[in-house]
């Protein structure tokens, strides 16, 4: 049996990328138990096969793993990191020989992000920061050689995002108006003022994904006038649809791919119940994809990156039973060269399959879910109910370290995409609004009863565990349906809807009225929010509870967990409580993850 550490230790390597010229390979790998950036030169062997040089480590972070990175030109890499999980990400850069590391945004309590990497401009990129006002983000042009920044526009207070054209010009702004309405503003040139072109309720979704090759129209994903989000060509001056490109009858369009070399749209993508759903816009793209997939029959294949000429690609190959591997693909020769396994110590023989299943709720909704069962266990099983966070996110089919760990310890794991999970259309999403602890929770409860009725779950051995919103659902489950669960694990979960609203990050405040529509208004919906806040009902909790929390969590303040602990201890009930002072919304440092899952393992063994 694999050890706990095998499931949760850092990957051997991950997040591979190619330099724009295709001459170097970069990846994240552990150094002092933190993920840092490494680079390898791609040499050529006798038969022109790729040969990788010895990796060179570029960064030496020891406090916290890097949050992410990207190439900027062929000789410099940019990366982001925060401090102890506070999510105030700063932007850094380093040359690929490890020299000239610098922080471009060295400002206290400021969060930075990238708007456009300006791929054709080697020395500059567009970033956003909330330095001037912690509640809003302004756009800047940053010179990575000199560190000089130029403010491009002052956010008036309601701008939420920016879109550029293929020349890197800021052409589109997304704004919140009147609290719950969204607005798109457009300009033809950067000398023009932004002008509003459409205003809708936030329930109408419209996102300009990318400008068309001539920078005249846009490819947009929208649900306006339909239930499932579709990919369309739209005139950004009027937001009039010009052409419907792709719409799926069951799922929202999640993304699209575009070729800079061919200057054309390649495919659209939906997240299906198991394998992804792809729609190709030309036979060449489809044939190219099929050639790559033919190298890996029966596996799930993704294109992780490519060089600017689109001649060489990094291919990620995985399934529900391994953490996957990376391969180097040469388009001209149709050859794949193995690079590395992400976690070579985990094999398919060590793991179990994730089974896509469905069930029906009490009010007739179909819920897509995933059931993973332990090996060599017969009869009704002990089950961990595992609702996802978000809540406006979703679970998907694939490898999951938590699931595999729990199955290895003899538990089945059940994950469900309750109403409000994304990708299933407008009606399914809107059915979750103001339903925290109500119909959203009923969906979870109905899944538990389905497991029992099917003879899968032992009704005397069911636990619930989740993080963030999943932590809220865990607490709601043991408060409002206490007869179902023998024990529970709450990981950075919301407990009190009133205090949660008061302690959100400053850059969420412009969205507060929208959150009132989605979750509840503390004034208008006070009675409902009181009834569905677990911290106000700790007297209903009967089962053992384990809580884990990051002290620096900017989204779910530590006070959310404190309230539950204090409420239970006031009744003389002991609750296991783990707080990590150097973590935020979820644990990232390896030793903290070990502590958390070790405590969870002991807690479940004792109580389930």
Give me the residue spans of the domains in the chain: 1-62+282-351, 354-607
pLDDT value for 178: 87
What per-residue confidence (pLDDT) applies to 49? 86
**pLDDT for position 117:** 95
User: pLDDT-based confidence at 256, cuts 50/70/90?
Assistant: very high
Cα–Cα distance between 157 and 287 in angstroms, integer?
Answer: 47
Two tokens at 575? 């609750």
Q: What average pLDDT does the structure give for the chain?
A: 96
Whether residue 172 is predicted with pLDDT greater than 90 in this model: the reply is yes
Percent of the chain scoring above 90 in pLDDT: 95
pLDDT digits (tens, 9 = 90+) for 526-571: 999 999 999 999 999 999 999 999 999 999 999 999 999 999 999 9
Residue 40 exposure: Cα atoms within 13 Å on the Cβ side: 18
The Cα–Cα gap between 248 and 232 comes to 12
Residue 79 has pLDDT above 90, yes or no: yes
- The tens digit of pLDDT for each residue in 465-497 reads 999 999 999 999 999 999 999 999 999 999 999
Q: What is the largest CA-CA distance in the chain?
A: 75
Those residues with Cβ within 8 angstroms of residue 483's Cβ, 6 or more apart along the chain or in another chain:
none
Q: How many CA atoms lie within 13 A of 384 on its CB side?
A: 29
**The pLDDT of residue 275:** 87
DSSP string, 285-347: HHHHHHHHHTTSTTSEEEEEEE-TTS-EEEEEEE-SSS--EEEEEETTTTEEEEEEESSTT--
Q: What is the mean pLDDT of residues 392-415?
A: 97
**Helical axes 439-453 vs 469-480, angle rounded to 10°:** 70
217-226 burial code (b ≥16 CB/10 A, e <16):
bbbbbbbbee
Confidence of residue 44 (pLDDT cuts 50, 70, 90): confident
Q: What confidence score (pLDDT) does residue 1 get?
A: 82
**Pairing assessment for the beta strands 149-151 and 159-164 based on DSSP bridges:** unpaired
Q: What are phi and psi of 527, to 5 degrees?
A: -65, -45
Query: Where would I find the beta strands (DSSP E) of 342-442?
Result: 354-360, 366-372, 381-385, 412-416
Predicted confidence at residue 325, as pLDDT, reads 98
What's the average model confidence in pLDDT over 31-48? 92
Q: Domain 354-607 belongs to what architecture?
A: 3-Layer(aba) Sandwich (3.40)
The pLDDT value recorded for residue 349 is 95
The pLDDT score that the predictor gives to residue 573 is 85
pLDDT of residue 45: 82
Question: Averaged over 42-64, what is the pLDDT?
Answer: 91
Burial class (CB in 10 A: 0-12, 13-18, 19+), 605: exposed
In contact, 384 and 414? CB cutoff 8 Å: yes
**Rounded CA gap, 273 and 196, in Å?**
38
In this prediction, residue 411 has a pLDDT band, given cuts at 50, 70 and 90, of very high
pLDDT, tens digit, 9 for 90 and up, residues 345-386 = 999 999 999 999 999 999 999 999 999 999 988 889 999 999
CA 482 to each of CA 382, 534, 544: distance values in angstroms, whole numbers, following the listed order: 17, 12, 11
Tell me: the pLDDT tens digits for 506-526?
Answer: 999 899 999 999 999 999 999
Residue 368: per-residue pLDDT: 98
Model pLDDT for residues 286-299, shown as the tens digit of each residue = 999 999 999 999 89
Whole-number pLDDT of residue 149: 95
pLDDT for the residue 163: 96
């Amino acid at each position: 049996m694999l050890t706990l550490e095998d499931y949760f230790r850092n990957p051997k390597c991950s997040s591979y990328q190619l330099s724009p010229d295709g001459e170097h390979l970069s990846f994240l790998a552990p150094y002092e138990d933190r993920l840092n950036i490494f680079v390898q030169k791609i040499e050529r062997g006798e038969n022109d096969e790729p040969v990788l040089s010895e990796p060179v480590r570029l960064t030496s972070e020891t406090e916290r793993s890097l949050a992410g990175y990207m190439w900027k030109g062929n000789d410099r890499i940019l990366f982001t990191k925060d401090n102890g999980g506070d999510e105030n990400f700063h932007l850094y850069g380093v040359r690929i020989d490890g020299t000239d590391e610098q922080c471009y945004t060295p400002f206290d309590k400021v969060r930075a992000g990238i708007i456009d990497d300006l791929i054709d401009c080697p020395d500059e990129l567009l970033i956003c920061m909330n330095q001037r006002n912690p509640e809003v983000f302004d756009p800047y042009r940053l010179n990575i050689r000199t560190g000089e920044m130029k403010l491009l526009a002052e956010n008036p207070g309601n701008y939420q995002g920016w879109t550029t054209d293929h020349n890197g010009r800021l052409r589109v702004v997304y704004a919140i108006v009147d609290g719950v309405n969204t607005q798109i503003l457009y300009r033809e040139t950067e000398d023009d003022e932004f002008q509003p072109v459409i205003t809708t309720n936030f329930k109408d979704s419209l996102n300009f994904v990318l400008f068309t090759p001539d920078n005249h129209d846009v490819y947009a994903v929208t649900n306006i006038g339909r239930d499932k989000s579709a990919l369309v060509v739209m005139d950004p001056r009027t937001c009039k649809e010009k052409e419907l490109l792709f719409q799926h009858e069951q799922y929202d369009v999640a993304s699209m791919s575009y070729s800079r070399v061919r200057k054309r749209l390649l495919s659209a993508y939906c997240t299906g119940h198991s394998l992804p759903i792809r729609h190709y816009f030309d036979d060449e793209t489809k044939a190219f994809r099929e050639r790559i997939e033919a190298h890996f029959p029966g596996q799930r294949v993704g294109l992780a990156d490519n060089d600017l000429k689109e001649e060489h690609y990094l291919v990620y190959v995985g399934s529900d039973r391994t953490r996957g591997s990376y391969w180097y693909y040469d388009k001209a020769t149709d050859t794949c060269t193995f690079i590395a396994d992400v976690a070579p110590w985990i094999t398919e023989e060590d793991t179990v399959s994730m089974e896509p299943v469905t069930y029906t709720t009490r009010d007739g909704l179909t819920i897509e879910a995933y059931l993973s069962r332990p090996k060599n266990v017969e009869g009704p099983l002990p089950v961990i109910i595992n609702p996802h966070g978000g809540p406006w996110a979703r679970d998907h089919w694939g490898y999951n370290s938590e699931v595999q760990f729990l199955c290895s310890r003899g538990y089945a794991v059940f994950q469900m995409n309750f109403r409000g999970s994304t990708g299933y259309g407008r009606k399914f999403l809107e059915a979750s609004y103001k339903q925290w602890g109500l119909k959203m929770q009923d969906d979870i409860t109905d899944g538990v009863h389905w497991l029992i009725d099917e003879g899968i779950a032992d009704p005397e051995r069911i636990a619930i565990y989740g993080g963030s919103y999943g932590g809220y659902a865990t607490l709601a489950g043991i408060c409002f349906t206490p007869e179902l669960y023998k024990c529970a694990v709450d990981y950075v979960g919301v407990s009190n809807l009133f205090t949660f609203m008061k302690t959100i990050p400053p850059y969420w405040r412009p969205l507060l009225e929208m959150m009132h529509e989605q979750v509840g208004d503390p004034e208008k919906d006070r009675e409902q929010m009181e009834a569905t806040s677990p911290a106000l009902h700790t007297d209903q909790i009967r089962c053992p509870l384990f809580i884990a929390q990051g002290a620096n969590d900017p989204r779910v303040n530590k006070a959310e967990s404190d309230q539950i602990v204090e409420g239970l201890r006031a009744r003389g009930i002991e609750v296991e409580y783990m707080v990590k002072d150097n973590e935020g919304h979820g644990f990232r440092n390896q030793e903290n993850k070990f502590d958390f899952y070790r405590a969870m393992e002991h807690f479940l063994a004792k109580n389930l």
